[in-house]
Amino acid sequence: MKLPSLSHMNISQIRSQFPILSQEVNGKQLVYLDNAASSQKPLAVINAISNYYKNDHANVHRGVHTLSQRATTQFETARKTVQQFLNAKHDHEIIFTSGTTDSINLVSQTWARKHLNAGDEVIISHLEHHSNIVPWQMVCDEKGAKLKVIPIDENGEVVLDEFRKLLSKSTKIVAINHVSNTLGVINPIEEITESAHKAGAIVCIDGAQAAPHMKIDVQALDVDFYSISAHKMYGPTGVGVLYGKETLLNDAPPWRGGGEMIETVTFEKTTYNSLPYKFEAGTPHIEGVIALGAAIRWMQEVGIDNIQAQEEKLRAYATQELKKIDGMRIIADVESKAAVVSFLVGEIHPYDMGTLLDQMGIAVRTGHHCAEPLMTHFQIPGTVRASFAVYNTMEEVDTLVKGVKRAATILE
């Protein structure tokens, strides 16, 4: 079903492909606005998992029998689908992981552990999710390297001039998100990458919040590593991707030992497999990878540009209407954002607001969103975060706004 534009009718067609959206929660029609945490799954993805188990389940790569060969074909087809989605140069630059967190840890525990020395520096930003902070802290502590942090301004945007001042001959890695999970702010990755490369550093991008909402071209961005999670882009939980430039992946040692990542094993010595398999030890999340391929194809069928345009309409409208509420404070009220509105109302605690919204059938995320340093920067306990997907509607935004108004009246 090719959708050249997203009219109200087409949104209805899209919503009909998501069975979970038809239910009631607490006696109210579900309004699901927690997509930055995890998006819902279309029938194309659900059926891909079901069909695999009904018809094709077998372990991949090593079997000569028909089921194994069919499973392997689907698995490797998904790898090529991801390659094309990210515009990677080679399909062996696509490493399957359990998610963005796992992908970042893979880089920190392989390439970084090999190349970082005492006195070297790793730069991250004040916008980062804990999964793009803690792995770098761990490897820096182990190697005696220093972790530096790019400051952000009052709008939640990185200060590029300060970033450039942090760069030095000791900088080995710059690790930053493409889109903030908490604020939705889109970082200027091209400029950051260009400056980092001039300083001799590699660039690792957390793309978990970008891949669901915009076209990603890793070659055009010239990033060295890029990580995504399937469950944030209409796919299943427990599977993700690390893209890495071929030369860097070849220069990184294996992380986990076991089957598949080996070429030969004796008790005296083991030789490792070629890319991508040297980083994919053990039986992979086969149905998850196949379903990720189905999710990407579904997104491409709807149209990435269509998805981005619909979500931007929702975000802009939600921002406009929420700002009319007394005491409303939208954190990072800037133009360069993706599908997120993060806010507070007066002195109302985010948890209390979220609890009342849930009673009205409205699902939002509350708290620090795994970004405690960012909350400390703004001197707030957390936020209420409404995050959008292509299946959300303007009517659902109206329901959210009414719900926030009602909750604010109750909690004042």
Nearest to 158 by CA among 286, 375, 336, 35: 336
Pick the catalytic residue from 25, 199, 334, 370: 370
pLDDT at 8: 62
The tokens for 167 are 């760069």
| Alpha-carbon gap, residue 205 to 193, rounded angstroms | 10
Q: Are residues 279 and 158 in the same domain?
A: yes
How many Cα neighbours within 13 Å face the side chain of 42?
Answer: 22
CATH number at residue 340: 3.90.1150.10
The strand pairing partners of 203, in sequence order, are 174
The residue from 280, 300, 320 where one domain ends is 300
- Residue range 368-403, pLDDT digits in tens: 898 898 988 889 999 999 999 999 999 999 999 999
140 part of the active site: no
Tell me, yes or no, whether 288 and 218 share the same domain.
yes
Give domain status of residue 382, yes or no: yes
Interior/surface letters 280-294, b for 16+ CB within 10 angstroms, e for the rest: bbeebbbbbbbbbbb
Give the CATH number for residue 196: 3.40.640.10
Q: Does residue 17 sit in the same domain as residue 64?
A: no
Distance of CA 232 to the CA centre of its chain: 6
pLDDT digits (tens, 9 = 90+) for 39-75: 999 999 999 999 999 999 999 998 899 999 999 999 9
Residue 131 lies in a domain: yes
Provide the edge-to-edge strand list for the sheet that holds 328-331: 328-331, 340-345, 383-387, 365-367
Residue 294 lies in a domain: yes
The residue from 300, 315, 341 where one domain ends is: 300
| Structure-block tokens of residue 216 | 């990603």
Residue among 164, 122, 129 at smallest CA distance from 147? 122
Q: Same domain for 317 and 290?
A: no
Last residue of a domain, one of 274, 300, 326: 300
**336: containing domain:** 8-32+303-411
Per residue, the 3-state secondary structure of the chain, as one string, reads CCCCCCCHHHHHHHHCCCHHHHCEECCEECEECECCCCCCCCHHHHHHHHHHHHHHCCCCCCCCCHHHHHHHHHHHHHHHHHHHHHCCCCHHHEEEECCHHHHHHHHHHHHHHHHCCCCCEEEEECCCCHHHCHHHHHHHHHHCCEEEEECECCCCCECHHHHHHHCCCCEEEEEEECECCCCCEECCHHHHHHHHHHCCCEEEEECCCCCCCCCCCHHHHCCCEEEEEHHHCCCCCCCEEEEECHHHHHCCCCCCCCCCCEEEECCCCEEECCCCHHHCCCCCCHHHHHHHHHHHHHHHHHCHHHHHHHHHHHHHHHHHHHCCCCCEEEECCCCCECCEEEEEECCCCHHHHHHHHHHCCEECEEECCCCHHHHHHHCCCCEEEEECCCCCCHHHHHHHHHHHHHHHHHHC
Residue 9's pLDDT is 57
Q: What are phi and psi of 399, to 5 degrees?
A: -65, -40
Please tell me whether residues 180 and 102 are part of one structural domain.
Answer: yes
For residues 201 and 108, state if they share a domain: yes
Q: Is residue 368 part of a domain?
A: yes
Same domain, 259 and 388: no
The answer as to whether 37 is a domain residue is no
Q: 74: burial class by Cβ within 10 Å (0-12, 13-18, 19+)?
A: buried
Q: Are residues 367 and 389 in the same domain?
A: yes
Q: Domain tally for the chain? A: 2
Specify if 262 maps to a domain. Answer: yes
pLDDT averaged over 10-residue windows placed end to end, the chain, 412 residues:
58 96 97 98 98 97 92 97 98 98 98 97 96 97 98 95 98 98 96 98 98 98 98 98 98 86 79 88 95 98 95 97 97 94 96 97 94 89 96 98 97 86
Same domain, 209 and 117: yes
Regarding whether 250 and 227 lie in a shared domain, the answer is yes
In a domain, 206, yes or no: yes
Mark whether 103 and 213 lie in a shared domain: yes
149: in domain: yes
Same domain, 294 and 309: no
